[in-house]
Amino acid sequence: MKFTTDPIGDMLTRIRNAQRARRSECVVPWSKIKEQLCVILRDKKWIQDVRVLGEHPKKYMVVSFKPDKMNLELKRISKPGRRIYKGKAELKPVLQGFGMAVLTTSLGIMTDKEAREKKAGGEVIFTVS
C-alpha cells in the first residue's frame, strides 16, 4: 500500500507525466476533492472528460485529455507544508485571464474568477495555464 502526503500534488503530477508521455488519458486514485477538481477542469474545458470507476475501497478516476491542450502547465501553489491563502482583494487573474487558479473557499471549491465575482478568498490549491 502506497502512502502519499500530498494526494492533490500526486494527481497533478500524474496528469503532467501522462501528457508529456503523449498519453490520451491517465488513472488517478479517487477522492471527493480530486473528483471536484477534475470536474472543474472539465467544465472549464482544460481536460476532455473524467470518469469514476471501481467500487468503494478501490475507486479510481480516468482523466481524458483534449488533443489540442496536451501540455497543461499545472502548478501546485498551496502545499501540506506551506498553505497559501489569498483574500478577495489579493486574487489576480492568472496569465492576464488566459489561465486559471483553483481555490477552496467557505463557499466551496471554485475558480479565481468565480471567487472574485462572489467576493470570497481562500486557499489557492493550484494554477492552470
Is residue 100 packed enough to be buried (19+ CB in 10 Å), middle (13-18) or exposed (0-12)? buried
pLDDT score for 77: 97
Q: Which domains does the chain have, with CATH numbers?
A: 7-64 (3.30.1370.30), 74-128 (3.30.1490.10)
Q: Which cell numbers in the block locate residue 33? A: 476533492
The model's pTM is 0.94
**φ, ψ (nearest 5 deg) of residue 44:** -90, 10
- Which pLDDT score, from 0 to 100, does residue 1 have? 55
Give the C-alpha separation, 37 to 33, whole Å.
6
Looking at residue 4, what is its pLDDT? 85
Per-residue model confidence (pLDDT) at position 97: 86
Low-confidence ranges of the chain (pLDDT < 70): 1
